[in-house]
């Protein structure tokens, strides 16, 4: 019994050995990662046999377990921190954010209430207010860290419904005289369908507004949709403008959306989960002109801000609505402070100290460091776009927000086949996406260590794979 307890809570000398050994294993893994395939090479049949051997009937030495786990991760996942990963919005994490995870794991603070972790709550509030100011939100802006963009966007809808009808919290959709509806671009992240389901208003309440032919929401179509809903007795509550669509990184007309929201007295939410990081750059931030008019904003720290997964942010110019939406009293909670206790101003209850990741990263690099980070990604993609254009390919989108969409030349394989061949090679990871109804090859740079040589190698690989008949 004593030995088992020591295994889980070992004495200081053993802890140091374990920590040092794990650090060495991870450092070795990171050093060799760039030379490994980006795609999984693990034989899953062998892996399954090895996994089943851990039946939990007998204890296994922790050092052995750590060796096995790191080895499995080396070969059994898409290596999102590989410099040739040009995939979704998953980043190679900053070293400060990795350190934050280690610190948080050691202290394991509970952020449900201010009284249990006042330093942690205040660090998060400090970071959120700094990001909100940088985004252009005025006044006493507030918010909280979330598990990711989906939770932050869910928070926006709940706030919009609460603001539209004070009885929504008690009566739900029955508080409204007609069906509550909201509007998002047809190119928006379709988590909005799940969010509407979660909020109890139903997926049919999501109005997916057509685009203008470039991947951006059409203001004309938005106004027509609202007018149609008003005439039929529906109750519009929110407009969602996307800043950085998943498929193409496109930015909806934020100022136009703000004017429509003001005209109809609607909550304006900007889903800037990806492109929100451009607020760091004076050169790139004009693409987000109008974001400061939002009632609320989603920015994911674990996307272009490159912290570890998952760390979203919900920012709002109306922090007073948060306790209206999430307030609850419980006898077992040590306090119920509507301005500082996170459990009464967010959907979560018990919560990890997420904000330390961005605090350490932002404090270490400064806004200028992050400006260089996002500008570098855009510059590298423009380099790739120029190289492919010279080979007869077409750049299908405006890649100001760090996503490049390519169409291969006439006579080449279709995009899906090219992507399949590139990924199968293990030399790079890219994806196929839809833009205005057609397939494109999507390339996104989220790794701060991706170099010009990595981009040039991808250009060569794409050109070769596009016409290779093997």
Residue 92: φ, ψ to 5°:
-80, 125
Q: Return d(Cα 213, Cα 215) in angstroms, integer.
A: 6
Mean pLDDT confidence for 264-278: 98
- Neighbouring C-alpha atoms within 13 Å toward the C-beta of 3: 4
Q: Angle CA(228)–CA(294)–CA(276) in degrees, nearest 5?
A: 115
Domain ranges of the chain: 102-361
**pLDDT per residue as tens digits for the range 379-402:** 999 999 999 999 999 999 988 999
Helix (H, G, I), strand (E, B) or coil at 145: strand
154, with CB counted inside 10 A (0-12, 13-18, 19+), is: buried
Read off the pTM.
0.94
Cα gap 288→250, rounded to integer Å: 11
Taking a C-beta distance cutoff of 8 angstroms, is the pair 293, 268 a contact? yes
Count CB neighbours of 386 within 10 A: 11
In CATH, what number does 102-361 get?
Answer: 3.40.640.10
- Give residue-wise pLDDT tens across range 197-249: 999 999 999 999 999 989 999 999 999 999 999 999 999 999 999 999 999 99
CA distance linking residue 394 with residue 248, whole number of Å: 14
| Rg of the chain on CA atoms, in Å | 24
Give dist(CA 184, CA 181) in Å, integer.
10
Three-class DSSP category at 56:
coil
Orientation angle between helical segments 356-390 and 452-467, nearest 10 degrees: 50
Angle of helix 219-231 versus helix 254-264 axis, rounded to 10? 20
Confidence of residue 338 (pLDDT cuts 50, 70, 90): confident
């Amino acid at each position: 019994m004593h030995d088992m307890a020591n295994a889980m809570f070992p004495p200081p000398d053993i802890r140091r050995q374990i920590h040092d050994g794990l650090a060495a294993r991870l450092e070795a893994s990171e050093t060799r990662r760039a030379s490994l395939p980006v795609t999984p090479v693990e034989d899953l049949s062998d892996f399954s046999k090895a996994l089943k051997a851990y039946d939990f009937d007998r204890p296994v030495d922790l050092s052995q377990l750590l060796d096995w786990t790191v080895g499995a991760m080396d070969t059994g996942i898409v290596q999102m921190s590989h410099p040739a990963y040009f995939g979704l919005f998953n980043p190679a994490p900053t070293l400060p954010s990795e350190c934050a995870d280690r610190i948080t794991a050691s202290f394991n603070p509970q952020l449900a209430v201010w009284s249990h972790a006042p330093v942690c709550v205040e660090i998060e509030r400090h970071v959120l207010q700094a990001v909100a100011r940088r985004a252009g939100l005025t006044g006493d802006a507030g918010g909280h860290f979330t598990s990711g963009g989906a939770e932050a966007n869910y928070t926006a809808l709940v706030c919009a419904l609460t603001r539209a009808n004070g009885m929504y919290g008690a009566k739900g959709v029955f508080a409204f005289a007609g069906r509550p509806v909201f509007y998002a671009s047809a190119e928006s992240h379709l988590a909005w369908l799940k969010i509407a389901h979660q909020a109890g208003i139903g997926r049919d309440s999501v109005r997916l507004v057509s685009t203008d032919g470039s991947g951006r929401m059409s203001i004309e179509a938005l106004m027509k949709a609202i007018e149609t809903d008003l005439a039929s007795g529906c109750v519009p509550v929110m407009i969602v403008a996307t800043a950085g669509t998943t498929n193409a990184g496109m930015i909806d007309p934020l100022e136009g959306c703000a004017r429509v929201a003001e005209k109809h007295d609607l909550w304006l939410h900007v889903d800037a989960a990806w492109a929100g990081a451009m607020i760091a750059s004076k050169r790139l931030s004009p693409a987000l002109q109008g974001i400061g008019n939002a009632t609320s904003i989603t920015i994911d720290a674990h996307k272009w801000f490159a912290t570890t997964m998952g760390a979203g942010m919900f920012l709002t110019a109306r922090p007073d609505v948060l306790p209206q939406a999430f307030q609850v009293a419980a006898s077992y909670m040590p306090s119920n402070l509507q301005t500082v206790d996170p459990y009464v101003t967010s959907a979560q209850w018990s919560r990890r100290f997420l904000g330390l990741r961005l605090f350490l990263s932002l404090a270490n690099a400064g806004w200028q460091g992050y400006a260089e980070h996002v500008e570098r990604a855009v510059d590298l993609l423009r380099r790739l776009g120029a190289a492919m254009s010279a080979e007869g390919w077409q750049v299908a989108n405006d890649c100001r927000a760090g996503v490049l969409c390519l169409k291969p030349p006439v006579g080449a394989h279709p995009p899906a086949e090219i992507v399949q061949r590139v990924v199968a090679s293990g030399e790079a990871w890219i994806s196929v996406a839809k833009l205005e109804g057609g397939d494109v090859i999507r390339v996104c740079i989220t790794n701060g260590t991706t170099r010009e040589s990595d981009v040039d190698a991808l250009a060569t690989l794409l050109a070769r794979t596009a016409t290779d008949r093997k």
